[in-house]
Structure 1
Amino acid sequence: MKDAEMQIPTYDDMLAAHERIKPYIRRTPIRTSDYLNELTGAQLFFKCENFQEPGAFKVRGASNAVFGLSEEQAKLGVATHSSGNHASCLSYAAMRRGIPCNVVMPRTAPQAKKDTVARYGGRITECDPSTSSREATFAKVQAETGGDFVHPYNDPRVIAGQGTCAKEMIEQTDGLDIVVAPIGGGGMISGTCLTLSTLAPETQVIAAEPEQADDAYRSFKTGHIIADDAPKTIADGLLVPLKDLTWHFVSNHVTEIFTASEQEIIDAMKLTWKHLRIVMEPSCAVPLAVILKNPEIFAGRRVGVVVTGGNVDLDKLPWMQK
């Protein structure tokens, strides 16, 4: 898609996206835990996007982009770069429409995510684990294939699609004081801001980020985008920097960004596996980690927590890596 950065999606775009993607996504459930409520002093409502068919929320934005293409545009398929979940979800949406999908993935991406892409028919080209390598490799792939570029997050179609998650959360919980979601490139957070700024403007949006990949936090504090090229964290879905379109939403609508250490993320991940009894990946544990770290912000509040994905390598769980 050309000039995506100039097109800020609207609330009506989100509503149109929800209608367009309904046949291809699941209205995922909300899970609660008395134990986690007691531990945090808050009422936590976990939106389980790990229950989507490809295992991640990104099927929303990917489906909106794929099924919004004209027949002429769709002939050459779609292409993207991704550390995993967007690649999986775009491959899934492309398979559902019957068009090709080419993806560039870091060679260090979890095997579980590569396997999911392949299962849905996506064609993988590997790159080095840095933003610069990812974008350079992708430029070559797109030049060769001509597919429509669906950026993992800096795309108005993707942001509008991700915004449908917050719409469902509000409907399923009868209102929330705060919504917390992980932040990497900012697609989910931007979609959340897009929806809540109109549907529930009184609801605060808080982003959660790993300390070892805290470029969004530093961007938020300094007032301009800071981009790290190759951060390292177990939260592999949060390695990419903000872009101009997502920065628009973050800088205008996010209340605060909190960070968590690697050990805090692992501890939160174990807690949710044990007490919610669901499979979730490290990136999804960052919100609970920051809630536990900053109890004074969340205690006594109704808090929505986006469980963004569940594509994890079960042979390489972080608490097994000694």
Structure 2
Amino acid sequence: MKLSILDYVPIFEGRDATQALNHTVELAQIAERLNYHRYWVAEHHQVFSVASSAPEMVMMSLLENTTNIQIGSGGVMLPHYSAYKVAEIFKIMEARHPHRVNLGTGHSPSFKNVNQALNEYKTEKVDYLTQIKDLIHYFNDHAHMNHRHKDLYATPRINTKPGMFILGTSKSSATLAAQQGLPFVIANMGQNKSQLQSVISHYRNSFSQHHPELQSYVIMSTFVITADSDELIDGLSRAFHLWLLRIGYLDQPKYYPSIDYATHRDYSKRELEKINQQQNRVIVGSPNAVIEDLKSMVTMYEVDEIMIQPHVYGEDNREQLLRLIAQANS
């Protein structure tokens, strides 16, 4: 089973952003040694407990400190930005590290105030499809009369190009990926199984209609929690669910809570109900049990690659999670 990683770059209780970013570099190096296929970084704004507000910047650090593993964004929220500028950023990374750069794009609006700040002074928004077509245009160094920015090249002009991926959970995103002949990345966050199957099937069918000469490709991402003891698994799960609970509130937590804090914190009845509702958003268990669940996911949804999210408390616990999953998958 092909395994990859999506990292939120968590800032743990008692740590700061510098430590979080340094740890992510170390974790990517470990992932490379363990033969994970990709290491992607998410984009989150106004979430104080993670340090991944600018995935492109983190990506360059990871590229500079690894040698073979694919490094990518999971993903750049394209409607906030100029496709031209995104193309330039990713072409510079590709020029420096050919054949290793992945551009995963999404179109989440984020929080209202974040959306306003990222889009201030814009009088008109370019639709997502147009931006994707623009990126394809810029990455292929096409400059012709039919493009809306004729004779415009994204520089530097290079002989290779970043890999492009479309992130989403809806049929509209699946359709976009299929029409453009791009891989589709879908998050499994506890949605209805038939809904996920329907979206993936729609992508596969649409892809084959538009690009019969190419192979469709699906990556599914999911949170996972494992460790080498049931006690630690339980503690990591408690801390994760407290983090997941709190990021949905306006009063954002300043860090990812420790196991000790999560264990001794008092919970309201409503909080416990919400935590229980979120249980199906993460795969929890022994390494072998997690791998079996992931393999079942591959079979059930007919996906080509699994992208785990090792969003657990503690640097040592995250490193051990990667090692245990890799070993169980070997």
The structure in which a higher percent of residues are helix is: 1
Q: TM-score, normalised by structure 2?
A: 0.26
Which structure has the bigger radius of gyration? 2
Q: Which has the higher contact order (CA 8 A, sep 6+)?
A: 1
